[in-house]
Structure 1
Amino acid sequence: MLFVGGWHAQTLAYVLYGITISVAATILFMLVSVPRGFWLSLRFAQAELRAQTAKKQRSEMDGPGIGSSFQTARIEKCEQLAAQAVRVARRLVCEAPIGLLPTLLTLAAYSWSLHSWGFAQHACLCIEAAFNILSPFSLMANCRFVMLLSGIDLFNAGKCRKARLQLRAAAEKAKWTTGDEGWDRKVLDLAGRGITLRALLRFYRRLGTSSVMPHFDPANHSTADVARQAIIPLSKDTRHGSSSMSTVLMQGRSVFPMKMVTHSWSNRFSHLVAAVVADALDLPEYEAVLGRLDRFEIGALEEELYWKSKLDQTFWICLFAVNQHASICGRILPQECDPVTGRQPLPCACGFGKFGSQTPPLRHDGQSILCEVNKFDDMMACIAAAEPGFTQLLAVDKDFTIFRRAWCVAEMHQAYSLRLPQKMFVFSEATLTRHKSYLKTLKVEDMEASHPADCDMILARISDKASFNEEVQRLLFDKGGLLEEWQGGFDHMTMLGEVARRGYERAVRGKSCQSELEVGVF
């Protein structure tokens, strides 16, 4: 064929040849500039790491009496951030050329094949073979580079599958005890009712199907609705008996949680799940996650979480961990009405014994030993003693009612008393801004609970309510508090850029860097 669209074949070859050379030149420029950019990031991140390490060493030499504990924690956090940035930058420096070089070689082979076709008029089998071999290598290298930029680690994926899920009750009991054997046994049982993120998402997938709450509406159904119409029916008369939903989801295994999720039952269940996923994705807001829970998107979300080794993270969520058949399943409150159907759910007829906070047998303080909802404080202390890094997550609803619920405030206070790391996840920054003034007026006396006896029990444990209110305000607004920690959330690449920027500023300031370190300016 001598003409293609009115063009001579040889002329067309020249055009394609020119385009290919232009693209190759662009990639060659990227091959130089991209690694150089990452190398500069590495250089400045290393400078920042050295500065923070020196500051930490000086702080340790000064002794505990110099400076506040917050400043020490801040220095350690900045040092960890800089160290992480150095690791990321070092990998990017190494992998950027690996991703671009095969592409350049592929284009070179393609250009030579065009040259052979346009001028020699005979196929060069060696060039074609090189092109066919280099093309898949180029695709794989670029896919690997994209995954690295997105925070996905291909070679570390799946390692969490080997993580320990079984609760070693003897070891935990050796570290923690209240002195009451029956009470401790129930606490340890509760502590072993964590679920994985994988199990949570699988459960969420079932909602709205013909067999599980077919009328489920993510925009309307609350956590309480899901408890009544999905969790209680699914956990009734299973091969584990009428048990907690976590027992069903984890097939009877005792699973030790890494994190505890504090949430309000009036919040949308989809928002609760989105907040847990936001933690796995290192996002401070969960509004953007909601769309990814759609039935057509959730598969891609699970794939991302798998490659980021997040699906086997374990969480303690009271909705799943508490055996609802031992507490609320047979009693429907008048206000409990399905927002979609307009009907009240039917009470459960499991016949399982119900245990309130004062149901015998009783402990010396009058609290029921077999009741599960009066042991959250001890359960948190038990897990904290056995699991370093145990963290509390606050899944804050759009109306911030979590800060009015008695059980939620009690859990926040216990985590604060145990000095557990606490992370807050809000619907959006706009909702947080709207409710800041409201948060400053919180008082424990205004707490609410579904059952007045629960509220009375929690208030009875707080001897000095004024001091408790001050502690809540410190928890929210002090340096290192929940609001400041929330503001500090940023992603993998932003972290690298921020640390590199700090290192660059130090390098530019030159000699002034030393004087800043001496006076403790960051």
Structure 2
Amino acid sequence: MDSKVEVMPSFDPRISTTNDVVRQAIIPLTRNAAGEGQAMASLWSCGQPVCAASMVTHNWSNYFHHLMAAIFADALEEEHYAGVAEMLLTAEGYQRLENKIQEKGCGNKSYWVCAFSVNQHACICDNFGRAPPEGTPEFEEWDLKRRDSVTGLVFNVCPCKQRKIWNNEPALCEMNKFDSMMRHLNRQQRDFSHLVVVDVAFDVFTRAWCIAEIVESGRSRIHQRIKLHSEAALDRNYQRLSSIDVRHCKASRPEDREMILQSIQDVKRFNSDLQWTIFGTEGLLRKWMDGRERAALAGRCVRRAGTFGGHFSSSSTLDPMDTV
């Protein structure tokens, strides 16, 4: 039997999100007979360490097949991932994609993706986080995330016995170390880079962790790339990007959002750095901006921000003092 059908019979590539796949495929497949679990990446590599060449920033509300399409498109050096996404919808298209990867010789590129590389059994597998007050927009969002996007049914929680570790145990938690990991890999890997996968709705720029990762890699001078679904998607969301404010960001766990916001000493400067990282002369969207527009925006960023740095308190895990 097809493993996809056996593990996740409701999977529909046009509807299923990364959150759906984590809950209904990754978590069940990585639980062992001893009642504990491991990261999917560890299972695939048989426990052998693999050093990632790129870290991927993405939002779990994105379609899972769009996440995979963006990574494949990046490996193939395609400008957008819409075409690859279409290939993934049919067996014939999948074969064409596999042939292109073989011809390009890019099948061995390694990417760090939180859904695969974090042990979900050490954090979220048996819970959906604290429920917000009923009747609020926050409750509606929380409720959607605990349900299968296709069937609407609430996910089964994992019965494993592995102890859950959150940010209140920072030394042991797996979810609070993206900044340290990025800086470490940047030192260890000569060509380490950061890939930002943008969903069609551009919601990745509203997620607290994603915003923090984008700013961190910009300030650490890590080579950044962005992978868009299409230029049309950018046209629809371009103006929205110009008003991004970290104070309006969201996170699945309110505690994570508060931790990130409390660690920012100067919100205005942080927002300026975020704008610079997206729109600046070396920013993520530099290929889609004309010279006059880029120069005007860069001038505004410089006047507001002055120089990079100085956002995070020294007690935070997001401390920039160790940046390269």
Same topology, TM > 0.5: yes
Residue of structure 2 in register with 1:229 after alignment: 24
Residue-by-residue CA offset, 1:187-240 (whole Å, 9 max, x unaligned) = xxxxxxxxxxxxxxxxxxx66x33221221001011100000000000001699
Give the AA of the match of 2:115: L
Question: Which position in structure 2 is the counterpart of 1:293?
Answer: 88
Residues 1:413 and 2:215 are matched in the alignment: yes
Alignment of 1:180-191 (within 5 A): none
Distance, in Å, in 2 between the alignment partners of 1:349 and 1:251 is 23
Indicate the residue corresponding to 1:387 in structure 2.
189
Count of equivalent residues: 274
Identical-pair percentage:
38
Matched, 1:302 2:104: no
Q: 2:281 aligns with which of 479, 492, 508?
A: 479
Match of 2:161 in 1: 351
2:30·2:40 contact (CA, 8 Å) conserved in 1? yes
What is the DSSP-based 3-state SS (H/G/I as helix, E as strand, rest coil) of the residue aligned with 1:211? helix
Conserved in 2, the CA contact under 8 Å of 1:444 and 1:465? yes
Change (3 A) 1:280 1:487: farther
Alignment of 1:82-93 (within 5 A): none
**For each residue in 1:461-499, what CA deviation from the matched residue of structure 2 results, as whole angstroms up to 9, or x when unmatched?**
2111100111111111121211114679xxxxxxxxxxx
CA distance 1:238–1:407, change in 2 (3 Å): farther
C-alpha displacement of 1:294: 2.6
Contact 1:267 1:397 in 2 (8 A): yes
Residue type of the partner of 1:435? N
* Deviating more after overlay: 291-300 vs 219-228: 291-300
- Aligned equivalents of 2:46, 2:187: Cα separation in 1: 26
Amino acid at match of 2:255: A
- One-letter identity of the residue aligned with 1:420: I
Deviation readout 1:27-47 (Å, 9 max, x if unpaired)? xxxxxxxxxxxxxxxxxxxxx
Give deviations 1:227-282, integer Å, cap 9, x for gaps. Answer: 00000000001699510011111221110000111000110001100100110121
Equivalence for 2:140: none
Q: Does the residue aligned with 1:455 lie in a helix, a strand or coil?
A: helix
CA contact (8 A) 2:84 2:97 kept: no
Residue 311 (str. 1) matches residue 107 (str. 2): yes
Q: Which runs of 5+ in 2 are unaligned?
A: 130-142, 291-324
1:376, distance to aligned residue in structure 2 (A): 0.8
Amino acid at match of 1:348: C
Question: Residues 464 and 414 (structure 1 numbering): CA distance in 2 closer, same or farther, change over 3 Å?
Answer: same
Is residue 2:224 matched to residue 1:422? yes
3-state SS of paired residue (1:471):
helix
Runs of 4+ in 1 over 6 A off after TM superposition: none
Which residue number in structure 2 is paired with residue 337 of structure 1?
Answer: 147
Do the aligned residues in 2 keep the contact of 1:398 with 1:431 (CA within 8 Å)? yes
Tell me, yes or no, if the aligned pair for 1:423 and 1:485 is still in contact at 8 Å. no
SS in 1 for 2:184: helix
Paired position in structure 1 for 2:66: 271
CA contact (8 A) 1:259 1:390 kept: yes
Asked if structure 1 preserves the Cα contact closer than 8 Å seen for 2:178 and 2:213, the reply is yes
In structure 2, the partner of 1:164 is none
Q: Unpaired runs of 5+ in structure 1?
A: 1-205, 360-367, 489-522
Mapped partners of 2:172, 2:153: distance in 1: 33
For residue 282 of structure 1, what is the aligned residue in structure 2?
A: 77
Q: What's the CA shift for 1:293?
A: 0.9
* In 1, Cα distance between equivalents of 2:123 and 2:163: 8
What corresponds to 1:255 in structure 2?
Answer: 50
Q: Deviations over 1:90-111 (max 9, x none)?
A: xxxxxxxxxxxxxxxxxxxxxx
Cα gap change, 1:437 to 1:391, in 2 (>3 Å): same
- Give the superposition deviation at 1:339: 2.0
Q: Does structure 2 retain, via aligned residues, the 8 Å contact 1:260–1:391?
A: yes
Q: CA deviation at 1:403?
A: 0.6
Instruction: Give the Cα–Cα distance (whole angstroms) in 2 for the partners of residues 316 and 227 of structure 1.
Output: 15
Mapped contact 1:240–1:252 kept (Cα < 8 A):
no
RMSD: 1.8
Deviations 1:51-70 (A, max 9, x none): xxxxxxxxxxxxxxxxxxxx
Aligned AA (1:307): E
Decide whether the 8 Å contact of 2:36 with 2:162 is kept in 1.
no
Classify 1:281/1:412 alpha carbon distance in 2 versus 1 (closer, same or farther; 3 Å): same
- Bigger drift between 291-300 and 405-414 goes to 291-300
1:120-145 CA distance string (max 9 Å, x none):
xxxxxxxxxxxxxxxxxxxxxxxxxx
Structure 2 Cα separation of the partners of residues 386 and 239 of structure 1: 34
**Conserved in 2, the CA contact under 8 Å of 1:475 and 1:482?**
yes
| 1:309 CA displacement | 1.2
User: Which residue does the alignment assign to 1:118?
Assistant: none
